[in-house]
């Protein structure tokens, strides 16, 4: 029980805190909440009861009402839950009334979560639960950590709750993402992770809602454009603002002046067509706009992700399509460079050539490229040039007319090229295409017309071409087994997918693949620390394809909710460490034996620290050759320098590496 004297003393200290003449801190926001609970709501800190949860139908309807936010939150909550790896926590999503509509937690925490009201349908607004992460965030509109005794009700004082608001396009809070944990410590890092995930959900939901609208992405800092913390504006074709995210409101209207309904020219001095044209000419790099009021904006103008004729598609599908390429970036710097390069040529009629070892995910990358383009609603037609008999490749690619050859279908057949009209043609293992057919493919690409076997009239075709190979096409050009003119016609942009053993994001990739392979299982399946360590150190000669087969087998054989060493194949338990860059998840920087101490900035959150470690590893691997690293990543040197500056990496750091 809480004594009345201790409560009175706490209230006096609360009054003292909020009377300070400065911007409210987290403690002051908590103090204001306590005063509301006492004076406005008349709550008793010693109360030990709360209303029962809503009926399932009621809270499910609330979840449906959240629409794109709910669709965008589900995958992000699963990712954050795996990242936290806290068996004493529950990750919850609540609506604008504080009603929990989704919970992700460890199976062993189910009973504790239920006892504390961390279940779907429970209401966590301040008038019901007093000062708490969800309810206080809804009132104060700021991310917060409510730590143990800061909770108003005594029954919650063994918990730490980090929560962040999710805003809608009018600048109002539409939902709250929160982590409630019984584990000690880590409150500051917890808040940073939850806030980042809330911004990711908010961004995905915004783009899903406005897949048929023009979007402006901008910020006052160049490094924040195309991240989860940039400003977003959705516009009509005439350039009128339909909605904006809360970051855009903070940047453009800090004093609360209106943003919605105004023309984009009022904010950036140029019309929407001018901004689109300049973005196109800049190769889809952010523009630099210097305004008369000495304000500089970094801005990118984007066309609609899909047309209004496609509005029957579910918002979740359009959201995943718009993000298909971006979601391949899990933290590995080379993959980040590949994704960035591919995004720059989207919808610009530039062929994409994907190189990499067998099993590195070349077709997955090709499908993501297609899904992220304006051809996403068109067909994706894949053909493996190495799997077809040489005599059938020509008819498969170009089709044939009735009676073109003995055994032909009497009605003829459209070839793969024509089937891909309006979409994407993916030619896998292009290096295995017979030399005599390479000339015909080149002619089709040049003329954009196809003449079926046995036919006389050429048929126009409109498609995006993506090719993939595990061979060295340049060596094949030198030895005459691949046409040089076709090679340069296919290689509009080339990306090289790293083998799994060299990827610094192995842990994140393993977790994503496990989630996909175990979809539908309840409770969700997870790897314990020892099993994860085995998978991370394995060399994976078959790359991601082999990883998926192994995980699929482990999922099928696992009877519980956790994969352990007992489930692992014997040949993997004795595997040596791979020769690779250190995983981002390890967050450890190897230092030479007599190296000077490495300065690690204290102002970076855990994700930034891990990203810094990964970039340092790549810089060491290239012996601090910035130009060489930039070439491998497919980005400019300025991009690498900007990343180094943001992560507080100075070139003097190489002294500590013995170089």
Whether residue 134 contacts residue 97, with contact meaning beta carbons closer than 8 Å, is answered with no
Angstrom distances, CA of residue 154 to CA of 47, 145, 320, 362 = 8, 17, 42, 55
Strand residue runs (E) in 373-442: 380-384, 424-428
Instruction: Give pTM, 2 decimals.
Output: 0.49
Instruction: Express as a percent the part of the chain with pLDDT over 90.
Output: 26
Give the least confident one: 21-30, 161-170, 236-245: 21-30
Look up residue 177 and give its two tokens: 């993402």
Look at residue 285 and tell me whether its pLDDT is greater than 90. no
pLDDT at 401 (0 to 100): 63
Tens digit of pLDDT for each residue in 374-396? 888 889 988 888 876 666 667 77
Mean pLDDT along residues 225-248: 90
Look at residue 369 and tell me whether its pLDDT is greater than 50. yes
Tens digit of pLDDT for each residue in 25-57? 567 888 888 888 888 888 888 887 778 899 988
> pLDDT confidence of 609, banded at 50, 70, 90?
low
- What is the four-CA torsion angle of 452, 453, 458, 462, rounded to 10 degrees? 30
pLDDT at 441 (0 to 100): 85
Cβ neighbors of 223 (< 8 A, separation 6 or more) are 642, 643, 645, 646
Domains and CATH numbers, the chain: 1-184 (3.30.450.40), 213-303 (no CATH), 330-497 (3.40.50.300), 500-573 (1.10.8.60), 587-657 (1.10.10)
Look at residue 152 and tell me whether its pLDDT is greater than 80. yes
> Which residue in 333, 359, 379, 300 sits closest to 550, CA to CA?
359
Q: Which carries the bigger pLDDT value, residue 556 or residue 6?
A: 556
Look at residue 291 and tell me whether its pLDDT is greater than 90. no
The CA distance from 635 to 638, in Å, is 8
**How many residues would you count in the chain?**
659
pLDDT at 96 (0 to 100): 93
Mean pLDDT along residues 577-606: 41
Angstrom distances, CA of residue 656 to CA of 351, 597, 603, 624, 650 = 43, 7, 21, 12, 11
* Angle, alpha carbons 256-257-259 (nearest 5°): 110
pLDDT at 360 (0 to 100): 95
Angstrom distances, CA of residue 375 to CA of 331, 340, 405 = 27, 19, 34
- For the chain, helix, strand, coil in percent to 5 are 45, 15, 40
Q: Which carries the bigger pLDDT value, residue 262 or residue 7?
A: 262
Look at residue 430 and tell me whether its pLDDT is greater than 90. yes
Q: Name the average pLDDT for the chain.
A: 79
Q: How many Å separate Cα 461 from the centre of its chain?
A: 34
Q: Which carries the bigger pLDDT value, residue 506 or residue 397?
A: 506
Q: Which carries the bigger pLDDT value, residue 340 or residue 427?
A: 427
Mean pLDDT along residues 80-95: 86
> pLDDT confidence of 454, banded at 50, 70, 90?
low
The CA distance from 137 to 116, in Å, is 19
Whether residue 554 contacts residue 563, with contact meaning beta carbons closer than 8 Å, is answered with yes
Mean pLDDT along residues 280-288: 78
Mean pLDDT along residues 527-539: 89
Look at residue 174 and tell me whether its pLDDT is greater than 90. yes
Whether residue 343 contacts residue 284, with contact meaning beta carbons closer than 8 Å, is answered with yes
pLDDT at 326 (0 to 100): 79
Give the least confident one: 11-25, 112-126, 430-444, 481-495: 11-25
Residue 549: CB atoms within 10 Å: 13
């Amino acid at each position: 029980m809480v004594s009345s004297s201790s409560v009175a003393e706490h209230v006096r200290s609360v009054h003292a805190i909020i009377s300070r003449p400065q911007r409210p801190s987290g403690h002051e926001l908590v103090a204001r909440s306590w005063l509301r609970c006492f004076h406005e709501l008349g709550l008793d800190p010693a109360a030990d009861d709360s209303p029962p949860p809503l009926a399932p139908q009621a809270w499910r309807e609330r979840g449906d009402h959240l629409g794109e936010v709910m669709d965008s939150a589900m995958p992000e909550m699963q990712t954050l839950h795996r990242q936290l790896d806290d068996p004493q926590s529950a990750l919850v999503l609540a609506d604008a009334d504080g009603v929990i509509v989704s919970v992700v937690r460890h199976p062993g925490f189910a009973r504790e979560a239920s006892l504390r009201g961390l279940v779907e349908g429970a209401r966590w607004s301040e008038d019901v639960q007093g000062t708490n992460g969800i309810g206080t965030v809804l009132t104060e509109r700021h991310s917060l950590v409510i730590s143990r005794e800061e909770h108003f009700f005594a029954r919650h004082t063994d918990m730490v709750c980090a929560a962040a608001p999710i805003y809608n396009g009018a600048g109002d809070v539409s939902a709250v993402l929160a982590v409630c944990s019984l584990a000690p410590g880590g409150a500051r890092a917890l808040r940073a992770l939850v806030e980042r995930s809330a911004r990711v959900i908010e961004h995905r939901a915004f783009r899903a809602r406005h897949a048929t609208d023009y979007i402006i992405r901008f910020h006052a800092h160049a490094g924040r454009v195309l991240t989860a913390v940039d400003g977003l504006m959705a516009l009509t074709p005439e350039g009128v603002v339909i909605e904006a995210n809360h970051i855009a409101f903070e940047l453009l209207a800090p004093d609360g002046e209106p943003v919605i309904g105004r023309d984009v020219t009022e904010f950036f001095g140029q019309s929407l067509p001018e901004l689109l044209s300049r973005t196109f000419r800049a190769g889809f790099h952010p523009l630099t706009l210097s305004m008369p009021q000495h304000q500089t904006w970094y801005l990118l103008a984007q066309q609609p992700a899909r047309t209004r004729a496609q509005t029957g598609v579910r918002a979740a599908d359009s959201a995943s399509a718009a993000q298909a390429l971006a979601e391949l970036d899990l933290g590995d710097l080379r993959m980040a460079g590949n994704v960035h390069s591919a995004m720059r040529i989207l919808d610009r009629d530039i062929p994409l050539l994907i190189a990499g070892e067998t099993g590195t995910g070349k077709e997955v990358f090709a499908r993501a490229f297609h899904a992220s383009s304006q051809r996403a609603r068109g067909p994706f037609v894949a053909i493996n040039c190495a799997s077809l008999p040489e005599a059938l490749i020509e008819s498969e690619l170009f089709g044939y007319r009735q009676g073109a050859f003995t055994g032909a279908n009497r009605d003829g057949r459209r070839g793969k090229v024509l089937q891909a009209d309006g979409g994407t043609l993916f030619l896998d293992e292009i290096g295995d295409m017979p030399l005599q057919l390479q000339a015909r493919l080149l002619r089709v690409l040049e003329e954009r017309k196809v003449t079926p076997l046995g036919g006389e009239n050429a048929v126009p075709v409109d498609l995006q071409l993506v090719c993939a190979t595990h061979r060295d096409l340049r060596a094949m050009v030198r030895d005459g087994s691949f046409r040089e003119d076709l090679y340069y016609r296919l290689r509009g942009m080339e990306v090289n997918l790293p083998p799994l053993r060299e990827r610094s994001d192995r842990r994140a990739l393993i977790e994503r693949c496990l989630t996909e392979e175990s979809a539908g299982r309840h409770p969700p399946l997870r790897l314990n620390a020892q099993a994860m360590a085995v998978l991370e150190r394995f060399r994976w000669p078959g790359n991601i394809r082999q990883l998926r087969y192994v995980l699929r087998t482990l999922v099928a054989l696992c009877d519980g909710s956790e994969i352990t060493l007992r489930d692992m194949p014997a040949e993997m338990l004795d595997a040596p460490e791979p020769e690779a860059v250190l995983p981002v998840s390890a967050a450890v920087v190897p230092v030479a034996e007599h190296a000077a101490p490495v300065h690690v900035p204290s102002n970076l959150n855990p994700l930034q620290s891990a990203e810094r470690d990964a970039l340092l590893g790549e810089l060491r691997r290239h012996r601090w050759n910035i130009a060489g690293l930039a070439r491998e990543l497919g980005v400019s040197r300025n991009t690498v320098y900007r990343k180094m500056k943001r992560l507080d990496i100075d070139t003097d750091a190489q002294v500590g590496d013995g170089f």
